[in-house]
Amino acid sequence: MDKLVIEGGVKLKGEVTVSGAKNAALPILAATLLTDQPCIIKGVPNLRDTNSMIKILRSLGKNAELDKGVAAVTRGKFTNYIADYKLVSTMRASFCVLGPLLGKLKKAKVSLPGGCVIGVRPVDLHLKGIKALGADVDIEGGYVSAKAAKLKGSRMYLGGMYGSSVLATDNVMMAAVLASGKTVIECAACEPEVADLAEFLIKMGAKIKGHGTPIIEIEGVKYLNGATHNVIPDRIEAGTLMVASLITHGDILIKNVFFEHLGALIDKLEEAGAVNIIKADSSLRVKGSKKLKAVNITTLPYPGFPTDMQAQMMSLMSVTPGISVITEKIYPDRFMHVAELNRMGAHIQREGPHAIVEGIKGLSGAPVMASDLRASACLVLAGLAARGKTSVSRIYHLERGYENIEEKLGKLGAKIWREKE
């Protein structure tokens, strides 16, 4: 097992290109199950999670390869409808094969993905949606079994305790595209990754309207064709790099960015005093500012402030003068990084779904341990800003969502390297 070692205090400078969005690529790869024809997906990041999805497609009988950012998926002997626990348990997003398997084969047996350190994320909305389409659903032995002689369009409300669900919206949308009649999803997730999946399905011949809004309308079709698609840029990687520039007082040109996907983050950074955020074509130039001030942050479903940027912003606020309150409304338990930041000298106190951050002049390098994907990014950012050396253990979390992150940071001047534990 490897760890990352970072010698902090270096101002990051240069150019970096954002990879394709993992959270868009995974359901798009799953959607290839809906057709017998070849699909080419470009801009797929080479990550643990995307490679796990390729393995799941193969286990279901598809021919699937990922090479240099291009995933090629063809039919093969696609007859298997069982997604095994050993594969599904490696990442929660793999549960999104449920919808396309049910839509295409009219039956599916998918392992329940289980819990996660950032909090319990039930699949009740997924099951509510596919039941509304007419599927019979049973849960036994840790698996969800669903079957239907024929799926029928329906009107449904998919709001949950903490708002809409991205994966539930994905799953129901993929099941509904081959159902008969019209499906209307109310309180649908509005995230760009959901809209990107819809765009891919439309290229395949699906009839979808309203994606990117809380109400999605789907008119079922009899079959879908193959398609070629470019995955959108990863807005969370772009946001992480923006924070990296600010926390190191650097100057970074970030390429392959969709500005419209970063509105809430840019707004909050500008509120904090980051006046040197310059937009040009599909690039952002972010210059560090020594006059940042503490701001309060509340995570919300898109277009609100993304929960996947909460931990990274906490790193920035920990070295920003003043007191900020960070409220987590998506996953209230998503604060595993607080204790690790405090090990580096941060002054953070958790109160339920709130974290109270008192900014200090500087962090000190220390051995820390990543608990999840975004917490690992938070600790890397803290290490970049800290005095001395920081070692981040369990970086396999980082490898789930950031493609070649140590190489990208290294080219920007960071003193970062990999060592064996």
Question: Is 378 one of the catalytic residues?
Answer: no
Backbone angles phi, psi at 179, to 5 degrees: -80, 160
Q: How far is CA 361 from the centre of its chain?
A: 31
- Could you tell me which residues come within 8 angstroms of residue 407 by beta carbon, excluding any fewer than 6 positions away? none
332 cis-preceded (ω within 30 degrees of 0): no
- Asked if 329 and 353 count as a contact pair (C-beta separation under 8 A), the reply is yes
- Asked if 218 and 207 count as a contact pair (C-beta separation under 8 A), the reply is yes
- Could you tell me which residues come within 8 angstroms of residue 105 by beta carbon, excluding any fewer than 6 positions away? 79, 81
Given the residues 39, 116, 187, 190, select the one marked as catalytic: 116
Element (H, E) at 79: none
**Rounded-to-integer distance, Cα 281 and Cα 177, Å:** 35
**Rounded-to-integer distance, Cα 243 and Cα 284, Å:** 12
Three-state DSSP state, 181: coil
Partnered with residue 185 across adjacent β-strands are 156, 216
Three-state DSSP state, 286: strand
**Rounded-to-integer distance, Cα 398 and Cα 396, Å:** 5
Buried b (16+ CB within 10 A) or exposed e, 182-210: ebbbebbbbbbbbbbbbbbbbebbbebeb
Angle between the 235-247 and 373-385 helix axes, to the nearest 10 degrees? 20
Distances from the Cα of 313 to the Cα of 65, 115, 244, 268, 330, angstroms: 36, 25, 10, 10, 16
Q: Is the dihedral of CA 213, 214, 215, 221 positive or negative?
A: positive
- Asked if 311 and 350 count as a contact pair (C-beta separation under 8 A), the reply is no
Kindly give the residue spans of alpha helices, DSSP state H, lying in 60-165. Answer: 85-88, 98-105, 124-132
- Asked if 354 and 324 count as a contact pair (C-beta separation under 8 A), the reply is no
**Rounded-to-integer distance, Cα 289 and Cα 248, Å:** 9
Residues labelled catalytic: 116
